[in-house]
Structure 1
């Protein structure tokens, strides 16, 4: 790379230019829905309702028209309804438009009506339809009549917008904070700018790649949100590790190309293995049959691939050209990062002299923080995650006020026409159901009937799951129960069911990768196990904050009483990936010094001395990046930022800089032992140069 620097730079300019040309459309092109369990009963109901009942599916748009002064039949209200109908019928994505019906979609007091706009497109296009029509519909409001688009598609429209705005705001805050930490870590503006170069290259390429991939299969807009965060965090991690090593090699060798060669032969291997570990951990999420969850993992994986590629090609090319100029624009008050830190040398020696107190102390803290996990509850997000002034939340509350607590979460029942009356009777007699609408025959003449059942509780109430189970157990075998709340509950069940599998696959693959990289089963196993401690502690803290409400006043949110449903699966993969990232850095450096000296105690101290500062600085950047999301108003970005930030903080401070070095001290030569038969099976990987 260093010998062909200009070719490498030119290639990256072409790649980023070509893919980056699609990047400006990434947030408008990507899909806004996908929060479903593929193959579930509720998804079947939605597809049947869309096909046979004029689009009256869970993805239909409900336009709530409300007046405090007039009833729905009033001419002023009717004019607004006619105008709303005109807006809707002009969009090809809207199917049958049904005006408010007495006894069904007109409230008992007559002041709230629901105009139903059927879905004539898939769920992602219906979210885009709300994006496009929302302003025109809400603009029809007058001083006496209010118009609010609501329903599942409107919820995801407002939810995605609120989260996108929060992510952009957090990124804008995190960049200057990141740059400041980089200047402190590197001591020069040129060196500090290199991680941002990698991040921008990786982000531009991955954003364009997501847009192109979206043409093949829908990619959730959340994929880009997570990709932005991970590209920044990992790009800085990798660049920091390589640049510190390059500057040390340059001081020793005096030749830029030779320094690049030594850097890539040592730290470069660790970065490659770390990137592969991150990709493998995230790939386990692809097992979950939920499009939004899968494509979020795809977004992060694409960002990691491009950042990793830039780290292994563009960075060595630039370093080879810069040479000693990597230290240009040094700041007098910022200490340059040295390869061997005296402070971390002393810290490593202290851990060697007194391993047990530090080991027990770290384990006790992590176990204590992990204990609340056993009371953790999860559920799909409630309406509270949307800002109070969002049209969908105002419409939701208007429907509840006009029709009843469970009205925003109507359950849909599709049944053969011959079973319609029996199904209706059994549904009415089911505990937890307030009312059932009259059977509606299929609009296309098929042998299906649609009923709507209103629960007695709010759609986010835990009791609704029991009601759904009772309905499915009680109704005739041909009846299928769905609706927006059922889709959420089916997705939550799928996430819960797949969690043990995802965790098991991540742990197994993480162990195998460490085993291949280190050629040492003992430390590979210990490195995998201790990563679980920081993960458990992070979720324990998440339970205290987001479920129990501790610090909610300080952080500015109202607790839902549970953690958002995708958290355990998705955050586990992300936290474990980051934890293994640091594990590879530390153990690869220790292995390098063990190969050079053959002394396990010396290797542990030297390993910590050479990468302790890098881990500390990289963790500081990650914590700063993640904690900026705590400033977000919507709850999901706040959850993500705080959980990941706490995980990185605990992992770096207690696992990588305390517990793992102590385990190296206690296991001695055994940490690096490997049976002969295993060495024959594994590829030969050395970290010393």
Structure 2
């Protein structure tokens, strides 16, 4: 195919300026002050590292709520006026196959369970099992309710501290299980933490092996891991300190660990590979660092900004846990980026040729311009359409199921079957009905009590209603507990809640753990299109500023959506439809966890744009030097292909280790992100984007004169 010839005057052909740019000078400055830079980082790591070990015990355990929602208002009213009998209350299930609640042995256990909470200021009113409400019809199961007199985060910590003493009461044929929302998050956070640590331990040796194969040198391979470790320690300590100001979810560190490892290695891989090439040509470590930072350093900085911008869009979602997960990753990215742009150039300048120490034989013959990827680029240049058609067919085919994707907040199935909270939950459902674990709290003014009771009793889907209970502090309010006919995770639960809210008097509020989950799900659904739009717009703007070319910036942003949609299509097939569930060791819930689309979209898009910047920045560098789009395509993929492939292999290895986790959310995260990276690297970055560069030619790098004047001047060529 003959390329269309366009006016290249505004496409910014080879520049005539001399000397390194700002980042190049910065890199040389760092390389000339190795001891000072390392000394400062040691001080930072010692200061933040002192707080880091407490990261999993000090961070918040709850936060899964939609701030400002009706269910959160109901919980606050319950804690203020009804002794803490809210969704955050601790429910202690006491069961015996032989004895009933009134028997002396069971009474003694109830008293012992009540005594466990004595003196704990976080606990409000403790209510013994009540007939017709918290005692099963056969009398063999009763529930002690320990009211919440603290935040949801503190209630999770209260369960952490007391659940061992409570479960220790199980003996002589009597079973005791703490359950309820606070106990759910307590048990799940423990299971999630163990799974994350196990996955991290598995991923490190696999990552090191991939790095050694990619670099061919133990020293070069070890550098990214050490830098990533520094970023992890700093971010862990930073999260602990930030938690003193505002509650930070423990999930923030879980995600930060995973993302820092993947992204830190990604950045270091790009810089170290470029440094070795520059060093081989110049023989001067400081000059090589300057060239590395002037070229690859710009791409890394822009990539880091793209990741931060993508994740910042999640901050608008009014859910503390979701927001702080984004904050955790952003903090990790900031520290990893800081280490990559300061500590790494300093260490590279000090190491010089020692970067190739302990090299494998083949590494001495390795070139930065990969002949393999150069040949691949030439094949794509000669035959763009067949490869593009195959890549598009695969991506569109995998993305098609996404239109049937269903989301909901996690069910009890996300915790192991032997977890006390699940055993207690299942006992309540078995003894009192499927809707008993998801009781709805109705709080209404005393004047509306009779009308509220009548409407609630007649509401379709409500099978039991407790009599109105007056506020313990004398407030002009009453509370009723309504039992739905279905399990809290059943699709019909949303209909029951919506109908009840619509029919009740205007001043009545409906809450409870199931209502909070549904309100959060609604908030996530409402904010998803806004988050997606913000990420797409900001991603395009950053690419436009970086590349100074509107067409390739727009196309680069749009193709990033393909791998994202395909990853969610695969997620629908696996986690909703259950394909491969037995192989992966989980039971399908029939939906994807509700926070997945918002959060995973931001993460996947950030990673996709990361590779986009690496490839297009390299191509732009060669276009600036030659003004030839053919050379830009071939040299772009030849110089970045191996790095993208190796970085993707590391990320896939890191993410897929989380597929081995027992809890479902880490498994979802690992598989969805792993599939996204695999598809993005192989089909989008190494096929579709090069084909787009081939088909658009000069037009890919063209920019109107007015836009050129408006945008800041950014060049990727080192002069």
TM-score (norm 1): 0.99
Counterparts of residues 493-532 of structure 1 (less than 5 Å): 493-532=522-561
1:321 matched to 2:350? The reply is yes
Secondary structure at 2:40's aligned position in 1? helix
1:399 matched to 2:413? The reply is no
Cα deviation, residue 197, structure 1: 1.2
Q: Which residue of 1 aligns with 2:79?
A: 50
In the superposition, relative to structure 1, how do residues 348 and 143 fare at CA in structure 2: closer, same or farther (>3 Å)? same
Q: Which residue of 2 aligns with 1:576?
A: 605
Secondary structure at 1:89's aligned position in 2? coil
Equivalent of 2:95, from 66, 83, 96? 66
Equivalent of 1:376, from 384, 405, 412? 405
1:355 matched to 2:403? The reply is no
CA distance in 2, matches of 1:106, 1:561: 31
1:34 matched to 2:63? The reply is yes
CA distance in 2, matches of 1:90, 1:638: 39
Secondary structure at 1:362's aligned position in 2? helix
Secondary structure at 2:92's aligned position in 1? strand
CA distance in 1, matches of 2:388, 2:429: 54
Q: Which residue of 2 aligns with 1:587?
A: 616
1:194 matched to 2:223? The reply is yes
Could you list the structure 1 runs, at least 4 aligned residues long, displaced by more than 2 angstroms after superposition: 331-338
> Does the CA-based 8 Å contact 1:89-1:97 persist in structure 2?
no
CA distance in 2, matches of 1:34, 1:636: 16
Q: Which residue of 1 aligns with 2:139?
A: 110
Q: Which residue of 1 aligns with 2:272?
A: 243
Q: Which residue of 1 aligns with 2:176?
A: 147
Q: Which residue of 2 aligns with 1:293?
A: 322
CA distance in 1, matches of 2:549, 2:532: 22
- 5+ long unaligned stretches in structure 1: none
> Does the CA-based 8 Å contact 1:188-1:336 persist in structure 2?
no
In the superposition, relative to structure 1, how do residues 608 and 178 fare at CA in structure 2: closer, same or farther (>3 Å)? same
Secondary structure at 1:645's aligned position in 2? helix
CA distance in 2, matches of 1:89, 1:540: 51
Q: Which residue of 2 aligns with 1:413?
A: 442
In the superposition, relative to structure 1, how do residues 528 and 76 fare at CA in structure 2: closer, same or farther (>3 Å)? same
Pairwise CA RMSD:
0.7
Counterparts of residues 320-339 of structure 1 (less than 5 Å): 320-332=349-361, 337-339=366-368
Secondary structure at 2:31's aligned position in 1? coil
Cα deviation, residue 60, structure 1: 0.2
Q: Which residue of 2 aligns with 1:462?
A: 491
CA distance in 2, matches of 1:267, 1:101: 68
Q: Which residue of 2 aligns with 1:221?
A: 250
**Aligned positions, number:** 689
Q: Which residue of 2 aligns with 1:312?
A: 341
Q: Which residue of 2 aligns with 1:673?
A: 702
In the superposition, relative to structure 1, how do residues 55 and 592 fare at CA in structure 2: closer, same or farther (>3 Å)? same
Q: Deviations over 1:194-237 (max 9, x none)?
A: 11111111000000000000010000000000000010001110
CA distance in 2, matches of 1:462, 1:574: 28
Cα deviation, residue 338, structure 1: 2.5
CA distance in 2, matches of 1:389, 1:220: 24
In the superposition, relative to structure 1, how do residues 335 and 144 fare at CA in structure 2: closer, same or farther (>3 Å)? farther
Cα deviation, residue 332, structure 1: 3.1
Equivalent of 1:164, from 193, 204, 226? 193
Cα deviation, residue 180, structure 1: 0.4
> Does the CA-based 8 Å contact 1:409-1:459 persist in structure 2?
yes
Counterparts of residues 94-105 of structure 1 (less than 5 Å): 94-105=123-134
TM-score (norm 2): 0.95
Secondary structure at 2:117's aligned position in 1? helix
Q: Which residue of 2 aligns with 1:177?
A: 206
> Does the CA-based 8 Å contact 1:630-1:638 persist in structure 2?
yes
CA distance in 1, matches of 2:422, 2:78: 25
Q: Deviations over 1:564-597 (max 9, x none)?
A: 0000000000000000000000000000000011
Q: Deviations over 1:433-456 (max 9, x none)?
A: 011000000000001100000000
Counterparts of residues 4-19 of structure 1 (less than 5 Å): 4-19=33-48
Cα deviation, residue 90, structure 1: 2.7
Equivalent of 2:116, from 65, 87, 95? 87
1:476 matched to 2:493? The reply is no
> Does the CA-based 8 Å contact 1:187-1:336 persist in structure 2?
no
CA distance in 2, matches of 1:592, 1:171: 36
CA distance in 1, matches of 2:363, 2:426: 54
Cα deviation, residue 104, structure 1: 1.2
CA distance in 2, matches of 1:397, 1:462: 19
Q: Which residue of 2 aligns with 1:602?
A: 631
Secondary structure at 2:534's aligned position in 1? helix
Equivalent of 2:594, from 565, 577, 586? 565
> Does the CA-based 8 Å contact 1:186-1:336 persist in structure 2?
no
Secondary structure at 2:510's aligned position in 1? strand
Cα deviation, residue 345, structure 1: 0.3
Cα deviation, residue 144, structure 1: 1.0
Q: Which residue of 1 aligns with 2:516?
A: 487
Secondary structure at 2:552's aligned position in 1? helix
CA distance in 1, matches of 2:641, 2:102: 73
CA distance in 2, matches of 1:143, 1:82: 16
CA distance in 1, matches of 2:679, 2:231: 27
> Does the CA-based 8 Å contact 1:184-1:335 persist in structure 2?
no
Secondary structure at 1:405's aligned position in 2? coil
Cα deviation, residue 336, structure 1: 6.5
CA distance in 1, matches of 2:172, 2:201: 38
In the superposition, relative to structure 1, how do residues 470 and 335 fare at CA in structure 2: closer, same or farther (>3 Å)? farther
Equivalent of 2:656, from 613, 627, 632? 627
Q: Deviations over 1:390-414 (max 9, x none)?
A: 0000000111111111000000000
Secondary structure at 1:381's aligned position in 2? coil
Cα deviation, residue 334, structure 1: 6.0
Q: Which residue of 2 aligns with 1:614?
A: 643
1:387 matched to 2:403? The reply is no
Q: Deviations over 1:136-162 (max 9, x none)?
A: 000011131100000000000001111
Q: Deviations over 1:5-37 (max 9, x none)?
A: 110000000111101110000000000000000
In the superposition, relative to structure 1, how do residues 255 and 619 fare at CA in structure 2: closer, same or farther (>3 Å)? same
Secondary structure at 2:703's aligned position in 1? coil
Secondary structure at 1:167's aligned position in 2? helix
